[in-house]
Amino acid sequence: MTPHRRRFLITAAAATSAPAWAYAQSSDDMTIGLASASLHLTEYASMTCPHCAQFHLANWTALKARYIDTGRVRFTLREMATPPPAVALAMFQLARCERASPDEYLRRVGILFERQSAILGAGTLGDVRDALLAAGGELGLSQAQILACLNDPEGVQRIQRSIEGAMALGVNHTPSFLFDGVLDEDHAFQTPDGMVRILDARLARL
């Protein structure tokens, strides 16, 4: 494992054969950008992964404005669970709460990444819950809405499907990036300059 990646947890169920449809778009995916974009960028990320947070805090504004909003790149986020997995799942559940659109979901993901250190450093699980309730309130959600989302059993199944799909593609750490379904191992992509250089080079070849 490199200093810039974090292993995610693989449950016993995920150790079984992975589905052949791993890269196919699924209803679990959160995708923005034109369907006709030249390049499809997929990120496997965890809300408790510090390197994922760093990527989004440093790169997301440029990625969205320069590549996604201009129609050149279509972006998909797929959810992973790094330790503590229950917190990673809860943060994703909060981002999805009340059937958030992909744009709203990714906006919330960015806000939660900004609060990652505070949430993870909250102390007990009760303190983490309170931190998530506070974050959800800032997102305009009621306590009842937040608790319903955090307790939605579908979340565990969704993360499990994402892990199984990741395994089929050779993904075993976060963040991991795929270009048109092919895993890329160039760690320079996580830096702002490296991301621009790599995306520009790939787009120039298309």
Tokens of 173: 């750490």
pLDDT above 80: residue 24:
no
In eight-state DSSP terms, residue 30 is: E
Q: What is the rounded average pLDDT of the residues 44-69?
A: 98
Mean pLDDT of 47-70: 98
| pTM of the predicted protein model | 0.87
* Residue-wise pLDDT tens digits, 118-128: 999 988 889 99
Reduced to 3 states (helix: H, G, I; strand: E, B; else coil), residue 169 is coil
Do the domain assignments include residue 165?
Answer: yes
C-alpha neighbours within 13 Å on the C-beta side of residue 83: 2
- Cβ-based neighbour number of residue 22 at 10 Å: 19
pLDDT of residue 99: 95
C-alpha to C-alpha distance for 146 and 161, rounded to whole angstroms: 23
In a domain, 54, yes or no: yes
Strands 73-79 and 6-7: unpaired
Tally of CA atoms within 13 A in the half-sphere of 172 that contains its CB: 5
Residue 21 pLDDT more than 70? no
What would the pLDDT profile of 130-162 be if each residue is shown by its tens digit?
A: 999 999 999 999 999 999 999 999 999 999 999
Domain limits at 128? 50-71+85-173
Residue 157 lies in a domain: yes
Q: Give domain status of residue 36, yes or no.
A: no
Mean pLDDT of 14-25: 39
167 located within any domain: yes
What is the tally of structural domains in the chain?
Answer: 1
Q: Is residue 136 part of a domain?
A: yes
Q: Tell me, what's the pLDDT at 40?
A: 97
Report residue 79: phi and psi, to 5°.
-90, 130
Q: pLDDT tens digit string along 161-175?
A: 999 999 889 998 999
Residue range 94-119, pLDDT digits in tens: 999 999 999 999 999 999 999 999 99
14 within some domain: no
pLDDT at 42: 97
Mean pLDDT taken over the chain: 89
Residue 115 included in any domain: yes
